[in-house]
Structure 1
Amino acid sequence: MQKSVPILQVDGLSVRYGKVEALHSATLTVGAGQIVSVIGPNGAGKSTLLNAIMGALPQTGSSNGVIRYLDEDVAALPIERRVSRGMCLVPERRELFASMSVEDNLVLGAYRRKRAGERSFLDQLEPVFRLFPRLKERRRQAAGTLSGGERQMLAVGRALMAKPKLLMLDEPSLGLAPLIVKEIFHIVSALRETGVAILLIEQNARAALQISDFGYVLETGEFALKGPAQDLQHNPQVIETYLGLVKKAV
């Protein structure tokens, strides 16, 4: 049986900001329909990793290494070309249009599909509303009036409007109450059924590993550990450094 090609294959990815190396020789794989988590402390380089994969590094940053998406080397492609191929990043800041309605923010997520001439570019609107019933209730409401959890739902929903094959989430639980965090991760887990591959960046190691297939631990710009998520949950080093801290914080 022929082995399927990974959605994302990163090999030897390094990122520098001037003389400072923020990420060193990172290698990871995300398969079709998988949820892969990268956990680690604040400042470890997690967001840098996502931005490099997406081609969204600031001008002061430079990267080298191999980034293969659907078996195509995309390392030299601009962010717009990566998005058009089905890569999508939900940034930590969410970057919603606060004065626009929930529905208009969602429609903007399908803009590239509309520009590409897809007649059915709004075909994901109802599926997004089924996934996030609260957004449907607030579809006419300005995005800036939503709660933190609802804004996170809207950011993910807007990304799904583009029908991504690879969805990258940067700290989706950041700043949210524990009950809302549980709801957000339940929804992320449910996305697996849509077939989208998910690369999840999180400080909440316990919640991330519980819904993931595979995990990586990033420390000071390098992967210190990797393995099936269930194995990492029982790894003494992970328990002591991350899961213990998360447990105390709940």
Structure 2
Amino acid sequence: MARTPLLRIAGLHAGYGRAEVLHGLDLDAPAGSVVTVIGPNGAGKSTLLNTLMGMLPARGGVLFDGQDIGGAALEERVMLGMALVPERRELFGSMPVEDNLALGAWPQVRRHRPWRARLDDVYAIFPRLHERRRQLAGTLSGGERQMLAVGRALMAGPRLLMLDEPSLGLAPLVVREIFRTVVKLRETGVTILLVEQNARAALEVADHAYVLEMGEIALQGPARDLAGDARVVDTYLGMAADARRDP
């Protein structure tokens, strides 16, 4: 039996001012799955995530757990259980790791729910953050900063976790560790929408995949099928291999 979509997008149009970037996107993210959106730079991947968080004006249908959230503000979407880890991570570099994590728990505080136990959960997923908990975030390595950004998002107890280029700028060994974490998170029941230019790594962990080109869905299907699609192999998997060789 097909899983019910936690997130359903229908005919989504969005952009910046008069410049439309997304042209009528349809996308489903079933509960408890990893859905990836791959494509080249400039395809509209980050625009999609920013639109879903309510940071850009949009037309079309956006349903979260069956609720129309098209007019909801960013804070409302966070309170519903949506979280975004942006490409730039946007950490507070002059604050310790643990304080950055604590700031991520504000939705739990607003709900008057206990949140300190979530620190233990995050430290169990990222033991290195526990080791660095008193260290300033700005002194962490690139991989550790990405772990902290994901951990901070998890402190809010999200139902949908959106990751924008989590492998960007990271060494291959760290990239593998980050994607192993994605698999672990899926096992906890979190739905993940993964935007990636590293198509090979994304398709290895995803259940379903969409190929975004020039603001439109060019291909979609089970990730394992797209990983064997000749067009995807020729256009994207080679690019991903090149990207992994970059310093």
User: Given the two structures, how large is their TM-score scaled by the length of structure 1?
Assistant: 0.95
Aligned residue number for residue 91 of structure 1: 86
Aligned residue number for residue 204 of structure 2: 210
State the alpha-carbon separation in 2 of the partners of residues 161 and 19 from structure 1.
36
Please tell me the root mean square deviation across aligned C-alpha atoms, in Å: 1.1
Aligned residue number for residue 108 of structure 1: 103
State the alpha-carbon separation in 1 of the partners of residues 51 and 217 from structure 2.
16
Q: Paired residue for 1:82, among 62, 67, 77?
A: 77
Aligned residue number for residue 5 of structure 1: 4
Aligned residue number for residue 243 of structure 1: 237
State the alpha-carbon separation in 2 of the partners of residues 65 and 39 from structure 1.
21
Contact 1:5 1:71 in 2 (8 A): no
Contact 1:35 1:200 in 2 (8 A): yes
Q: Which runs of 5+ in 1 are unaligned?
A: none
Q: Which SS does the other structure have where 1:51 is aligned? A: helix
Letter in 2 for 1:21: E
**Counterparts in 2 of 1:1-250, with a 5 A limit?**
5-57=4-56, 62-118=57-113, 120-249=114-243, 250=245
Q: Deviations over 1:12-41 (max 9, x none)?
A: 001132332201000100011100000000
User: Given the two structures, how large is their TM-score scaled by the length of structure 2?
Assistant: 0.96
Q: Deviations over 1:186-225 (max 9, x none)?
A: 1111101110000000000000000000000000100100
Q: Which SS does the other structure have where 1:198 is aligned? A: strand
Letter in 1 for 2:120: E
Letter in 2 for 1:109: G
Letter in 1 for 2:91: L
Letter in 2 for 1:98: G
State the alpha-carbon separation in 1 of the partners of residues 77 and 110 from structure 2.
15
Contact 1:12 1:25 in 2 (8 A): yes
State the alpha-carbon separation in 1 of the partners of residues 195 and 70 from structure 2.
20
Letter in 1 for 2:51: A
Q: Deviations over 1:69-97 (max 9, x none)?
A: 01000010000000001000111010111
Aligned length: 244
- TM-superposed deviation, 1:4: 5.0
Letter in 1 for 2:34: I
State the alpha-carbon separation in 2 of the partners of residues 230 and 102 from structure 1.
37
Letter in 2 for 1:51: N
Letter in 1 for 2:90: E
Q: Which runs of 5+ in 2 are unaligned?
A: none
Contact 2:163 2:193 in 1 (8 A): yes
State the alpha-carbon separation in 2 of the partners of residues 40 and 91 from structure 1.
17
